Amino acid sequence: MTVDLDYTRRSRWPDKRLPLDFGAAATFDQGGHRARRPLRITIVHCNGHGALVGGFRMIADYAEALRSAGHSVTLISPKPARERLFGGPWRRLPLYRKAQLQDDFLRGRGLNNIVLDRTGPLAAADLPDADIVMATWWETAEWVRALPPAKGRKIHFVQGYEMFDYLPLDRVRAVLDDPMPKILVAPWLERILREEHGATDVTVVPNAVDTTRFVPPTRDGIPEPRFGLLFSKTPIKNMPLARSAFDLARRGRSDLSFISFGATAPGADELTALERFALRPPQAEIPSLYGACRAWLLPSTSEGFGLPILEAMACGTPVISTAVGAAPDIIDGTNGIIVDAQPQAFAMQIRRFADMPAAEWLMMSKRARATAERFSRKGGGRSFEQAVRQLAQRGEGSAASPAPRQELTEPA
């Protein structure tokens, strides 16, 4: 059976993406059902890092998808440290807040998440023997590279190009140059890793969104001319551009309003004229924030993927974005718009959406939702699981001995 995920066929993702046919990764029992050996998978992450944005959500989502596919999954991280190598605004975030942010995405999933009672780096004695051991951040990739074969075939799950000037660039470059197999979240990452780091063993699995949780609200007409964005103190999120765009768009107009949410509140000089700011809202409330807006803004200078694009679209909200991450592969003018990273460009589109006729906006909203449905969490989890299984098969013989065979079946 071939699993057809629409986004690999109808969007602009290159045709050479991961083939979505489980046949190559499966054997069959006498009844014609698939029989797949469950894998032992260890996911190494940095406690709390990335939980402010979509990156840690995707780690948790994929861990849950792997477990649901019958695999034994362990997440493991060191105790948070005040002086880690994250740099940037993470140094200003209290330790309890980092752990709490991580818990937001893990809570209620029943995942086996181990937090060591000491800070990193992790060593072989900290990890169970496994078939796969997966790094999720450049520093964890350093740790994983040093592990013996018994800990599993090594994979680096890359969600962004981590060559930031506040990091030790020689070490980050060495990680990206390493031939360790990599699963990437967007085609642009494949291009840059091939061109700049000589990567050859890469698989692109685009991020996904839970379209059963992120849903359009019941609307009576179209939303008020309200616009939103995710606030962050991380420089690449480019909050100064958002502030300038807000100020320009509001000149001579009293009908425009702006909302935001985030893990830290903006200072008086960071975002102005906010109608509402939600500080760390419960996950269940976030879809209503997206859905209350005429358009969602993504002014970043860099993104690995840009998960808010899909989350907003799933809520029927078009997106105004810079050309970062997967935005050029997702936004096509009928579900949102890509603009230059200039306040004037954003302000012009804010006014355009504010004045947009209802019929035109409703069609754009419908197309935004249809786009998000092509990146469903169910399909994305299946695709990720297949990528991991194929890498495990290629590495058989070099990892730990297989776990006792268990028959996992589903109709052919």
pLDDT digits (tens, 9 = 90+) for 384-400: 999 999 999 886 544 43
Strands 34-35 and 27-28: antiparallel
Strands 40-44 and 202-204: unpaired
Percent of the chain with pLDDT over 90: 69
First-to-last alpha carbon distance for the chain, in angstroms, is 6
Q: At 81, is the pLDDT very low, low, confident or very high (cuts 50, 70, 90)?
A: low
Of 18-27, 313-322, 329-338, the poorest mean pLDDT is in 18-27
Report pLDDT for 54. 67
44 with 127: CB under 8 angstroms? yes
Report pLDDT for 9. 32
Average of per-residue pLDDT across 164-174: 95
Report CA Rg, the chain. Answer: 22
Comparing 220 with 224, the larger pLDDT belongs to 224
Average of per-residue pLDDT across 371-380: 94
**What angle do the packed helices 187-197 and 169-177 form, to 10 degrees?**
100
375 with 7: CB under 8 angstroms? yes
Q: At 268, is the pLDDT very low, low, confident or very high (cuts 50, 70, 90)?
A: confident
Looking at the predicted structure, is the pLDDT value of residue 43 above 80?
yes
The 10 Å Cβ neighbour count of residue 340 is: 10
Cis peptide leading into 121, omega within 30 of 0?
yes
Mean pLDDT value across the chain: 83
Task: From 153, 201, 164, select the one nearest 181 (Cα to Cα).
Answer: 201
Looking at the predicted structure, is the pLDDT value of residue 101 above 50?
no
Percent of the chain with pLDDT over 70: 79
Q: Which two three-digit tokens encode residue 335?
A: 């579900």
Task: From 412, 405, 393, 411, select the one nearest 153 (Cα to Cα).
Answer: 393
133 with 44: CB under 8 angstroms? yes
Report pLDDT for 22. 30
pLDDT digits (tens, 9 = 90+) for 399-409: 433 333 222 22
Domains within the chain, CATH numbers bracketed = 6-208+376-394 (3.40.50.2000), 226-373 (3.40.50.2000)
Of 17-21, 163-167, 296-300, the poorest mean pLDDT is in 17-21
Q: At 381, is the pLDDT very low, low, confident or very high (cuts 50, 70, 90)?
A: very high
Looking at the predicted structure, is the pLDDT value of residue 13 above 60?
no
Average of per-residue pLDDT across 276-301: 96
Report pLDDT for 401. 36
In the chain, the largest separation of any two C-alpha atoms, in whole Å, equals 73
Average of per-residue pLDDT across 262-274: 87
Residue entry with tokens 């990890």? 127
Report pLDDT for 258. 97
Listing from the earlier edge strand, what are the strands of the sheet with 319-321?
Answer: 274-279, 257-262, 226-230, 295-298, 319-321, 336-338
Looking at the predicted structure, is the pLDDT value of residue 113 above 80?
yes
Looking at the predicted structure, is the pLDDT value of residue 82 above 60?
no
Report pLDDT for 23. 32
pTM check: above 0.85: no
